[in-house]
Amino acid sequence: MPAATTLANCARSLLAALAGAWDRIWFQDRPTVPLEVARIGIGAALLENYGMATPHLFEFWGEAGWMPRAVAAQYADDPWIQSILFYVTAPWQLLAFHIVFLLSAFALMLGWRTRWVKWIVLVGHLSYLHRNPVLQYGVDLILASLLLILCVAPTGRALSLDRVRAVRAAKRDNLNAAPAPYTSVWAGACIRLMQIQMATLFFFSAVSKIRGDDWWNGDAMWVVFRTYDFYNRFLLSLFASHYWLVNVATYGTLLVEIAFPFLIWQRATRPYLLAAAILLHVQIGIFMGMPYFSFVMIMGHMSFLRPEWLARAAAAWQRKIGDLEMLYDGDCGFCKRSMAWFMAFDGLRQIRARDFRRDPSPVVASELVEKALYLVLPDGRALPGFEAYRYVVPRVPGLWWMIPFFYVPVLSRLFGHPIYNWVAANRGRLSALTRPRSRSPRRQQA
Amino acid sequence: MQLKTWRKRAIYAAMSAFVAWHSLATLTAPVPPEATGLQPLRDLLRPYLWLLSLDNNWDFFAPNVRRGYQFRYVVEAADGAAHTFVPTQDVSWYSPNFWWIRQWQDAIVDDPDLNADRAVALLCRKHAALHPTAITLVEVDQKEFSPRDWLAGKRPFDPDFLAPQMMTRVECQPQQP
């Protein structure tokens, strides 16, 4: 029966095509970097926001504050609206909850124990929202949506302390070891979920606006900036004498919101739409006094960063800085462990380590490296000790967090040199003191 | 994607089910309730949406921008003096505190029956140093204000463009020693 066979083949081809399309949409092998950028930003935003709420903790969420539990129950009239804070009665319990939440948000930002800390942050955030629903506004709900995606995603595999710990473990045996960057199809699926979230948000935001006269008539921006909440004397003065700017700003907002969900997917148009959306939110943050909302939205947009853009930016940075070679004493356990820690932050693998005892440098004499670690720059110059670290820190993005320690005017050098020289002179003693304990026989057997 | 084992197939199916379910929830949540055809789907998704605070319509500044208002309260002190306060006035625009206070005011203005008495009780406690006897809550609505008004030297907060409305007056309870 050739007709039946042909039909079956067609059906099989169709199914295969559908499955292929489904895979292409959802399950592409991707690094987690866009999600990690969002994780860092969202962790920081939550930490700042709820940190600022600390002086008002009992006022906002306490029993004697704005929303006693009995009243909260009237708002949360559905069994699915749950909060740990419904069951918190004593003030110390609320305080303990708040401290754990803030520490978890901090850990989320750093990417420390991300695997379970992210869930604490999600549950904590939802608990605050449901305990006092009148406090929540748009940004809190956007955060809940993004946090859920971060929770199910394999976050913490890049740009995180978890990654640093994993790389350090690999470098303990070989300082030049470089574990491959994490990629997975599930990371690709979660990036896609975040993209859909942001596109949906823009789409419905646009659709709800075009139903209103303020937006149709092009007057919305005038109305916004003349209200108590968003009053802006400078803009009103400008708009009053050049009213066409109000129309441009109003229709421009609509245009970006309508175009975004449709054109953000195409390779050619994505950079423009992404830039427009980010610019829109920067303006909202500055002119409407909503930096928290704007920042969170921009973090959500980070899901649209293409891996190749990030790779290109990383390659350009590496080309600009050039190769850095650190000469260290391979017989000094403390030096090796310190180097493993330091180099674990070098996500772009800009630093190469050379053990001068086994592989002497042609640039720096071994007698000099006996006294201090040396950094050999691409132009052949060599910097010793503290100056070597000071040079590296601003040039390796993973080490930027150390800049405040190395670049305080006068003080960094005043204290940095003697501290480094003392450590270098006593490295033998420090090696003995900080030597990892030998494993128990049972663990060694295992 | 090469699926060689049943375990891989199961993981693939679970991943596909989750992304389909979550995308459906994301796309369905903001649909206006007037779309009655989607109601059965919304009912199915409701526990997921409500538990995780995903049930949002994303209608920022829409369909129209809310005409502004200012929330004030007047504390009547024991010595007969009246002190007017504007809670958002001393808070930086860029501080999250501004928006929390703003949200709380919205709740009072939108549902005074539920929130006004409790708000007054808290404000009486806050201003205990003034020995308050009563507090009056006031909503000052903004009227239309055009560019022509601005060019004529008028400003949106001039009395001509404001309509104060007394919401309620509540007596303060004597403070516990």
A240 and B147 within 8 Å at the Cβ level: the answer is: yes
Which 8-state DSSP code applies to residue B33? T
The Cα A166–Cα A315 span in angstroms is: 23
For residue A256, give the 3-state DSSP assignment. Answer: helix
**Helices of type H across A132-269:** 138-152, 161-171, 185-209, 213-216, 220-225, 233-241, 244-263
The pLDDT of residue B21 is 95
Same domain, yes or no: A204 and A344: no
Same domain, A48 and A193: yes
Q: How far is CA A132 from CA A71, A162, B59, in A?
A: 9, 34, 21
B3: pLDDT strictly greater than 80:
no
Residue A330, in any domain of the structure = yes
- Among A174, A209, A244, which residue terminates a domain? A209
The parent domain of residue A368 ranges over 321-433
CA B126 centroid distance within chain? 22
| A310 falls within a domain | no
Distance from CA of B142 to the nearest CA of A (A): 7
* Structural domain contains residue A86: yes
Task: Tell me whether residues A240 and B114 touch, CB distance under 8 A.
Answer: no
Once rounded to an integer, what is the mean pLDDT over residues A26-44?
A: 94
Nearest CA in chain A to B126: A59
Tokens describing residue A33: 């970097």
What is chain A's length? 446
Confidence of residue A435 (pLDDT cuts 50, 70, 90): low
CA distances from B102 to A177, A281, A297, B68, B91 (A): 54, 21, 21, 12, 10
Mean pLDDT value of segment B140-147: 92
**Binning pLDDT at 50, 70 and 90, where does residue A426 land?**
confident
In a domain? residue A281: no
Task: Mark which of A156, A179, A209 sits at the end of a domain.
Answer: A209
Domain boundary among A209, A240, A267: A209
Q: Are residues A187 and A331 in the same domain?
A: no
In this prediction, residue B177 carries a pLDDT of 46
Most B CBs within 10 A among A58, A66, A71, hence the mutation to make, goes to A66
Residue A222: its chain B contacts at CB < 8 A?
Answer: 147
Per-residue pLDDT tens digits for B57-115 = 888 888 888 888 999 999 999 888 999 999 888 787 777 788 888 888 999 998 888 88
With an 8 Å Cβ cutoff, is A29 touching chain B? no
- Return the CATH number at A418: 3.40.30
Q: How far are the Cα atoms of B75, B132, B133, B172 from residue B79, in angstroms, in the given order?
A: 11, 9, 9, 14
In a domain, A268, yes or no: no
Same domain, A195 and A334: no
Measured distance CA(A141)–CA(A280) in Å, rounded: 19
Query: Contact at 8 Å (CB) between A412 and A405?
Result: yes
A136-193 confidence digits (pLDDT tens): 888 999 999 999 999 999 999 999 999 999 999 988 888 888 888 899 999 999 999 9
Q: Is some CB atom of chain B closer than 8 A to the CB atom of A338?
A: no
Is position A302 within any domain? no
**Which residues does chain A have within 8 Å of residue B94's beta carbon, measured at their own beta carbons?**
289, 291
- Both A53 and A181 in one domain: the answer is yes
Is A437 a residue whose pLDDT tops 80?
no
pLDDT digits (tens, 9 = 90+) for B100-131: 888 889 999 988 888 899 899 989 998 999 99
Q: Is pLDDT above 90 for A114?
A: yes
- Amino acid A441: pLDDT: 47
> Quick check: B8 contacting A, CB < 8 Å?
no
Give which of B16, B19, B105, B149 to mutate to test A binding, by max A Cβ within 10 Å. Answer: B19
Give B-chain residues touching A235 at CB under 8 angstroms: none
Q: Which residues of A touch B145 (CB under 8 A)?
A: 226
Of A278, A273, A223, A268, the closest CA to residue A246 belongs to A223
Let me know if residue A306 belongs to a domain. no
Question: How many structural domains compose chain A?
Answer: 2
Three-state secondary-structure class, residue A263:
helix
Residues of B whose CB is below 8 A from A137 = 99, 103
In this structure, the answer to whether residues A71 and A196 fall within a common structural domain is yes
**Residue A374 domain flag:** yes
